Each structure stands twice: as C-alpha cells, then as structure tokens.
Amino acid sequence: MARAKRRLVVVSNRGPFRMQIVGGRKRPVRAAGGLVAALDPVLRARGGVWVSTGDGDLPKDLRIDGARLPYEIAQVKLTRSVAEGYYEGVSNAMLWPIMHSMAATVRMTGPAFEDYATANRAFCEAVLASSKDSDLIWVQDFHLMLLPAMLRAERRRAHIGWFCHIPWPGSDIFRVLPWREAILQGLLGADLIGFHTEGYAQNFLRCVNDLVPAVHVDFSRMQIRHGRRTVRVVVAPIGVPLDAIQTLAADPRVSAEVERIQQWVNNRRIILGVDRLDYTKGIEQRLLAFEQLLRSDRAARNRYVMVQIMVPSRTDVKAYADLKTRIDQRVGDINGRYASAGRIPIQYFYRNLPPPQLYAHYRAADVALVTPLRDGMNLVALEYVACRMQGGGVLVLSEFAGAAEYLEGALRVNPYDVHDMATTLKAALAMTADEQEPRMHRLRAEVHKLDVHRWADGYIAQLER
C-alpha cells in the first residue's frame, strides 16, 4: 500500500483569507498574490494548516464559496508594539533594503530585533500547537528567518523547509546587519532552503561560508554541513497559475474591456507599467525614460501612451509617502509639458485593479515595461506573457529581476541607465508583428515551464524526501 502523503504546514506572515465587509456583511475574502494561488490548491488536496498573523477573527469552520475549507487556519496574534517592531522596524526598514542590495536606505533600530525574535517565537508556538511530528513544515520568506532553528530545537526529526521570495545579497552587503549570524543560524535549522535563481543561492552559500563559524559549505553540491545535519539549497523559480490566468483573460467581458481601453486612449499604442509602490521597482527611472522618448520624437505624444498602474503599499511609512509624492510630481510635470488636446501622455492609476481589469490591460498593452532596480522574480512579467494568448506584444525587462534569468525572449535593460531604457523602448515600439511573434512564442513556452503549481509540487516533493 502506498504511503499516505504527509500533511503540509504552510507558515507565512500573511494568510490566505481575511475578513472584509462585503455587501454590508463581514465575510472571508481570499487574499491576492502568487503565494496563495500556489499553496491554497496544494493544501486543499493534501490537507494541513496555514499559520499566519491575524486578529483571530476567522471562524474555525471557515466556508469559502459555500464549501467548508478542507484545511485549517491558525492565526498568530501579536501585540501592537511587537508587530510594529517585527514588521516595520526589522522586516521592512532593515531586511527589505538589505536583501535588495540597497544598504544606504537601511534604518537601524537595535531594540526592534527583539520584537522580530519575539514574533518568530510566537509563530513557533503556533506551529507546534497546530501540527504533528510527521508533518512537512514550509516557512515562507524573510519575515520568519529565525523560525526554522526554533522549530528544529523542539522537533529534531521534522521536515522543515524555507523559501526566499526576494533576492539574496552578496556577503559584503548582508554583513551590514548586526545580527547577521543569528539570522543565518536561524535558517540553518531548515532541511531545504529555496531561492529563485542560481545567483541568489550562491550568494546565500557565500554568506554562510563567510559569516557562520564551524560549518562546511559545498558550493558545487549546494550543501551545508551544520553539526550532524546537512542542509540542502535548491534553485526553484516560482511561476504563475497559467491555466487560471488564461481562462480569465479569455473571458468575453475582459475582451470587451480591452476594446474599451483601446478606445479610451484613442487607439494609441500602449506602454504598460504595473507595480506596487516601492523604491525597488524603478518607477521614477521608467518615467524618465518615457520622457526622453517624448523629447526625442515630437510625434511620440500622438502615437504612444504610458499607462502606469501603481498599487498602494506601506502608505504610513515616510519613505514610501515621499516616493509617491515624487512620482506624482513627475507624472504631472510630463503631462503638463507634453499633453495636447485629448491626448495625455501618461495615464496614472494609484489603486489595485481587480484581475479582470488588470488582465485587460495586459492584453491591450503593446509593450510591458517591467524595470525593477532589484526583484526576487517579478510575477508581473510572467502575467503579461500569460495573457498574450493571441501572440504579439513585447516585454522589456530589467536585467536585475529574477525573471530575466528565465525569460530569454524579453528585451533586457539596465534600469539605472535611462538612455538605455529609452532606446530599448523605442526599438520595442518599432518591432513588427513578424518580429514580435517568435519572441512571444518563446516567452510563453518559458512561462509554461514556470507554472506555479509545478513550483509548489516540485519543492514539496524534495522536502518530503
């Protein structure tokens, strides 16, 4: 008889559902994002529990679309002061910029690390209370880098994995953190550590080799000997739920929205940017490149329009509020100088569009401009390609996005070089349909290989072994 699959315990800062007022009633709503799209189906199939922060307001007998959720939800409740220190003080203000190789923007606040450790301990207690020794425990991302070792101390034979959804920097940058060794020791409690690219994985191995005493790092086998245990490091690029995206993108209502968008911009060719408000996304540099295109070609303002969709994020943090002010001013300045009657060069949305509207923009766009200064993978690039079922379209992609390692059909740019971006954008807009088709065909084949369900199944299979 085949052995039953182990239950899966997913641990992340944010959970798959939240309570929200809908139609005057408080109801559970599915959270957005690739992580939920990837792991919710896996948990539904094999059973288990999802551990995340929350207010404890989700009912134990959670029903989604009229059916009982076939896995458990465990919520970690943190005090307000601990939550602020853990999330804003360490995760956002220190770890996020360091991991994106932007050490100059770090704000060091030593006491906040105590809150980070306290929060990780609270997650540890919730996992122990919600799981069994035989379960697979899969910890997600940089918020919980102390958790694997905490769990290992309580369950020596547990199967524990950790996955990094953002970049991992070189050891010269990572060593800026005063508690660098504590973080690395925390991660070495895992059996399997995953990254999106070979470069990130090798950077991690180098950090362990340089900063942790009494370990042996095998760079070629991507293994770390830590005491009596061997920790494996794997490259496992995340993807998007391709079938689900294509089904929705092909909906007749989305097709109608595509036509409306094209009419709304007076049938100008569309350059699309979709980003969360963040200084790592390169939005300011992208606007400068588009301005350079308008300045160099007087007819460009009548032929092209940039549609920039920017999703609100961390609006109570001064650095993000200042960034939004600069972007608002830049958009206003460009539109003020280059607009003509009925033709505004930049259409700017500061809100989160629902998937049908977002996918309509992907289908309507002639060029997707995905130019982060640094990014773990960047799923916008994959989503754009997934929506281009009719072929055509050009993806202009930063060489500093993890996706650039896999999407060879994209036009790559250095987002720090505004002139390079403007030149490449002009070349993308000049591409004929015959030139676009084979590139997009290759991109779609690459995105098919990166399907998010394959990512989850492949990683879990390795953790189970």
- pLDDT tens-digit map of 36-46: 877 888 888 88
CB atoms within 10 A of CB 32: 12
159 three-state secondary structure: strand
Is the model's pLDDT at 421 over the cut of 90? yes
Is the model's pLDDT at 19 over the cut of 80? no
Enter the DSSP assignment of 3.
P
Q: State the DSSP string of 340-359.
A: BTTB-SEEEE-S---HHHHH
Is the model's pLDDT at 314 over the cut of 90? no
Amino acid at 86: Y
Is the model's pLDDT at 96 over the cut of 60? yes
Is the model's pLDDT at 157 over the cut of 60? yes
User: In whole angstroms, what is the distance from residue 150 CA to residue 136 CA?
Assistant: 15
Task: Show the 3-state SS of 274-338.
Answer: EEECCCCCCHHHHHHHHHHHHHHCCCHHHHEEEEEEEECCCCCCHHHHHHHHHHHHHHHHHHHHH
Q: What is the predicted pLDDT for the residue at 318?
A: 81
The catalytically annotated residue of 191, 275, 278, 375 is 375
Residue range 161-188: average pLDDT? 96
Confidence of residue 379 (pLDDT cuts 50, 70, 90): very high
445-465, pLDDT tens digit by residue?
A: 999 999 988 999 999 999 998
Tokens of 223: 């293994």
268-301, pLDDT tens digit by residue?
A: 999 999 999 999 999 999 999 999 999 999 889 8
User: In whole angstroms, what is the distance from residue 339 CA to residue 317 CA?
Assistant: 32
Spatial CA neighbour of 200 closest among 238, 254, 229, 256:
238
194-208, pLDDT tens digit by residue?
A: 999 999 999 999 999
CB burial of residue 252 (10 Å; 0-12, 13-18, 19+):
exposed
Q: What is the predicted pLDDT for the residue at 1?
A: 37
Task: Show the 3-state SS of 223-247.
Answer: EEEECCEEEEEEECCCCCCHHHHHH
131 three-state secondary structure: coil
CB atoms within 10 A of CB 108: 13
The whole-angstrom distance between residue 226's C-alpha and the CA centroid of its chain comes to 30
The catalytically annotated residue of 100, 159, 165, 226 is 165
Is the model's pLDDT at 111 over the cut of 90? no
Is the model's pLDDT at 3 over the cut of 80? no
Catalytic residue check, 165:
yes
437 three-state secondary structure: helix
Q: What is the predicted pLDDT for the residue at 4?
A: 58
Instruction: State the sign of the Cα–Cα–Cα–Cα dihedral 379, 384, 389, 391.
Output: negative
User: In whole angstroms, what is the distance from residue 199 CA to residue 121 CA?
Assistant: 30
Q: What is the predicted pLDDT for the residue at 308?
A: 97
Residue range 405-418: average pLDDT? 97
CB atoms within 10 A of CB 115: 22
Q: Which residues on neighbouring strands pair with residue 18, listed in sequence order?
A: 29
In order of their start, the domains of the chain are 8-238+453-464 (3.40.50.2000), 242-449 (3.40.50.2000)
214-244, pLDDT tens digit by residue?
A: 999 999 999 999 999 999 999 999 999 899 9
Could you tell me the pTM of the whole model?
0.94
Tokens of 108: 């060091």
Mean confidence (pLDDT) of the chain: 92
Q: What is the predicted pLDDT for the residue at 394?
A: 98
Q: What is the predicted pLDDT for the residue at 42?
A: 84
Is the model's pLDDT at 302 over the cut of 80? yes
Confidence of residue 5 (pLDDT cuts 50, 70, 90): confident
User: In whole angstroms, what is the distance from residue 107 CA to residue 113 CA?
Assistant: 12
CB burial of residue 66 (10 Å; 0-12, 13-18, 19+):
exposed
Residue range 3-14: average pLDDT? 85
Catalytic residue check, 100:
no
CB burial of residue 368 (10 Å; 0-12, 13-18, 19+):
buried
Is the model's pLDDT at 2 over the cut of 60? no
- Using an 8 Å Cβ cutoff, are 390 and 247 in contact? no
89 three-state secondary structure: helix
Is the model's pLDDT at 23 over the cut of 80? no
- Using an 8 Å Cβ cutoff, are 421 and 371 in contact? yes
